Copies of this chain bind each other. A is one copy, B any other.
Amino acid sequence: MDMDVKNLLLAVKRGDMTVEQAEEKLKTQPFIDMGFAKIDAHRPLRQGVNEVIYGEGKTAKEIETIVKKMLSIGQNKILVTRLSAEKASAIEGVKDFVYHERARIATIGGNYSIKSSGTIVVASGGTSDFPVAEEAAITAEFLGNRVERLYDVGVAGLHRLLNNLQPLMNASVVIAVAGMEGALASVIGGLVDCPIIAVPTSVGYGANFEGLSALLAMLNSCASGVGVVNVDNGFGAGFLASRINQPKTKEN
């Protein structure tokens, strides 16, 4: 897991480093243990972005503490997801803290700068899918992507979608957010030639079983090129879309 084993070994051989120092080094925790949580200090190196804070199940105080610790070690762009308005307002003393109520997301330190020429289109089926779609859109923007929103284009009124083909055709990734029967992903899948991230939402009633209907529909999409994330997981879709939109540069 350690890319610098060789350098370390050379340093030991050269005597630049004692065996004890090397051993210590090899054992150093690449995270900060805060008792109730372990902050991944190497994440920026390993995966390009700081650890994201999942707000649910943590108190406002705990979130504030983690945020400040991260800021103190120089991780100054932070995303907090699933953050209720109540908790958000209880977090204090954090600069550049912006709260997006419908998406239940907070960003700290602003967005990363744009790292790709591509555009991520976030399309949603109905007005009730708005919060999940926004969670995806804001996540993608935070991570340094151009985002175009295309909301309320569900398949029951197909012309709304067909009148917006241009942005879909130009997208480098499409995030399709839909509840109920989740057909949006399949219909878009038949129109575009870029990767599609499908996000089932728990919107609906009766036998939608908390999003199961849309989830199964999207997994069974007759269109190719569709990957599915968990029900209501806007963040996951935004994150994955960003990775696709920002391909690593290979040197070899």
A residues bordering B, Cβ < 8 Å? Answer: 1, 5-6, 9-10, 12-13, 19, 22-23, 26-27, 29-31, 36-38, 40, 42-43, 46-48, 52, 54, 56-58, 62, 82, 117-118, 125-128, 130, 151-160, 162-163, 165, 170, 172, 179-183, 185-187, 189-195, 197, 200, 202-233, 235-236, 239-240, 243-244, 247-248, 250, 252
Contact = CB atoms under 8 A, between A and B. Distances in A.
Contacts of A162: 1
Contact of A220 (B26, B128, B130, B207): B207
A146 to B, nearest CB: 11
One complex includes copies of this chain to the number of 8
Nearest to A192: B47
Contact of A151 (B1, B36, B230): B36
A226 B197 CA distance: 10
B216 A127 contact: no
Contacts of A186: 155-156, 181, 183
A34 to B, nearest CB: 9
A19 B10 contact: yes
A222 B180 contact: yes
A202 B252 CA distance: 37
Nearest to A3: B169
B180 A204 contact: no
B216 A232 contact: no
B189 A38 contact: no
Contacts of A243: 193-195, 225
B56 A222 contact: no
A96 B206 CA distance: 30
Contacts of A193: 46-48, 243, 248
A222 to B, nearest CB: 4
